[in-house]
Amino acid sequence: MNDAADAVSAKGKANGQGKEKKNGIADDNIAIKIVIGIIAALAALLMIVLILVTQMVASIAAPIMAVFKLFQSGVDIVKGLEGRLDKSASYEDIQEVFISDLQDAIEKAYTDVCKDEVYQIAMEQEYDMELTMESYAESKFPYELDGENCNINYAEIFNVISLSEDWSVEEDWKSFEYSEFQKLYEDKEFLRTLYTLKVDKAEKYVVNESMLGEGESCEVHSDKSVTITHADGTTTDITGEAAEAYFDTIIYGEVTVSSYGLLELFDYFSIDPYSVSEILPNMTNWKAMEYQEYFTRCYQPDMFWGTEERTQLIPYERQTGEITMDAGDMYMKDILDSLVITEDYVYYEVALFKQADPKWGLRKYLDGTMKSQGCCVTSMAMVVNFFGDSSVDPGLLLDRMNEKYGGLLNRPALSEEYGFWHYLDDGNFAQHSDLTKITGALINKQLVIAHIKPNSSEHFSTKNGHWVVLHGFQRSGSSEDIPITSDGSTGLFFVNDPNRNNEIMTFKEAVYLIDKIQSYGYR
């Protein structure tokens, strides 16, 4: 019995050891499978990331990548590059053409367009032409275009261009024509975005020799006092009006040319840097441009794309309009676009007309009457009365519209007819996160007609919207410059409301109520 029991016991132990060994092998297999699964998942994730990155690199940097795609896909000729590149052209060859042409454009911007602009500013401001142009000739070209010290970011410029609807070629890149792209380099307004110009009023004093005796000399000081040195070496100091007889004052423009502000480049292509990007919807255009530049450089890291330093997104200092040599249209001033209000108080005394005035309120306008629909005509009449003809009222303006424009409110034509200028016509004001287009216009002696969104305010708008005239502003709070943010800084606009008795609108109200603006002023 004992022998039998021992045998059973030994068999049981053997079976137990076998099971333990099998369980151990099974556990090892599970662990291996888990590790393999994790590795496979990571590999798949990495592959997905690589595919996405590759797609982004291949597509995000338009329009410049479009030309490269054309050559890489076997297309022999790109319109506009005939005679400059053959069908065997490499990526580097094409990129060299892009950079070379842009470098030529930058030099042309400084040597031709900037020079013309200085000339026109001198004429408009009645500065001494010779001294002003001498100052321009002494100014320094603001760029190093090539080599290690290059301070222009070519990749940045190309990718700002690629954000523009006019140059977006992601959907149909085969239709891209370099000859069209090259037209940018002939456009004076585009070339003007490639530099920042300041022409500051300056004075030069020329001694009036007829006031000096034999052997005398005269030194003019910065405070306009003079020191006369006589023939015997003695001196006499003269101040005030008596001193001014000894010299003539020549007023001229002191010219400074510096590198461009990126905001101006965005403005040229009508791109709001702070709105959502269509290419990268989780970013603003400003941030998307940075990523595009990064991918452009990654696509061919060994190629020359200029400096990697990004240009600051700051307001540009130059406030000039379209360059033209027409005498009546020379050096048109544009609005001051700034991130801060640079004045505490601006106010213009503008006649207040009411659309419901019995003199014209029941007259027909559009499919109603002036009383029901004439806020736009009444607002325009206030502007015409202020800038053009002080005898004009809404009734007379309506007569003029019926007589000459078929009853339509042709704002630009009316402005020109009455001797002032229709500057800004922004139909997407709601996209802007600040109010600087309004304050800038007012600071630059312009009036602003603003449209209030339909049903946006109990005391301002109507069911179809409403037009009012903004004729000044006052800020409150700190005596220092106050940035205007999307929340609205402390302050208010002065309002002429053709419908109600509103006299003010706070900055904060303006941010949420206004969706269109127009500005008017003297040329």
Please give the domain boundaries of the chain with CATH numbers for all domains. Answer: 35-208+246-334 (no CATH), 335-521 (3.90.70)
Contacts of 35 (CB under 8 A, 6+ apart): none
pLDDT of residue 330 exceeding 60 = no
Amino acid sitting at position 458: E
- What per-residue confidence (pLDDT) applies to 342? 63
Q: Residues 199, 122: contact at Cβ < 8 Å?
A: yes
Helix (H) or strand (E) holding 206: strand 196-207
The backbone torsions φ and ψ at residue 117, rounded to the nearest 5 degrees and listed phi first, read -65, -45
DSSP annotation of 184: G
pLDDT of residue 338 exceeding 60 = no
The stretch 93-107 carries a mean pLDDT of 90
Give tens-digit pLDDT for 102-111.
999 999 999 9
- What per-residue confidence (pLDDT) applies to 489? 54
Amino acid sitting at position 51: I
Helix (H) or strand (E) holding 506: strand 504-506
Give tens-digit pLDDT for 53-91.
555 555 555 555 655 665 555 445 566 777 777 777 777
- What per-residue confidence (pLDDT) applies to 320? 47
Please state whether 366 falls in left (phi above 0), alpha (psi between -120 and 50) or beta: left
- What per-residue confidence (pLDDT) applies to 60? 53
The stretch 489-511 carries a mean pLDDT of 85
The stretch 148-165 carries a mean pLDDT of 86
- What per-residue confidence (pLDDT) applies to 2? 46
Top pLDDT among 115 and 6 is at: 115
CB atoms within 10 A of CB 510: 24
As a whole number, the mean pLDDT across the chain is 79
pLDDT of residue 120 exceeding 60 = yes
Give tens-digit pLDDT for 13-50.
555 555 555 555 555 667 776 777 777 777 777 777 66
pLDDT of residue 371 exceeding 90 = yes
DSSP annotation of 280: S
Which pairs with CB-CB distance under 8 Å and at least 24 residues apart come from 264-269? Answer: 264/193, 264/196, 264/316, 264/318, 265/157, 265/160, 265/193, 266/160, 266/313, 267/193, 267/337, 268/189, 268/190, 268/193, 269/160, 269/161, 269/163, 269/164, 269/166, 269/167
User: How many CA atoms within 13 Å lie on the side-chain side of 60?
Assistant: 26
Judged by DSSP in three states, 495 sits in strand
Contacts of 173 (CB under 8 A, 6+ apart): 62, 63, 65, 66, 69, 70
Give tens-digit pLDDT for 200-228.
889 888 888 888 888 899 998 988 899 99
Round to the nearest angstrom and report the end-to-end CA distance of the chain. 125
pLDDT of residue 318 exceeding 50 = no
pTM: 0.51
Q: Residues 488, 510: contact at Cβ < 8 Å?
A: yes
DSSP annotation of 173: G
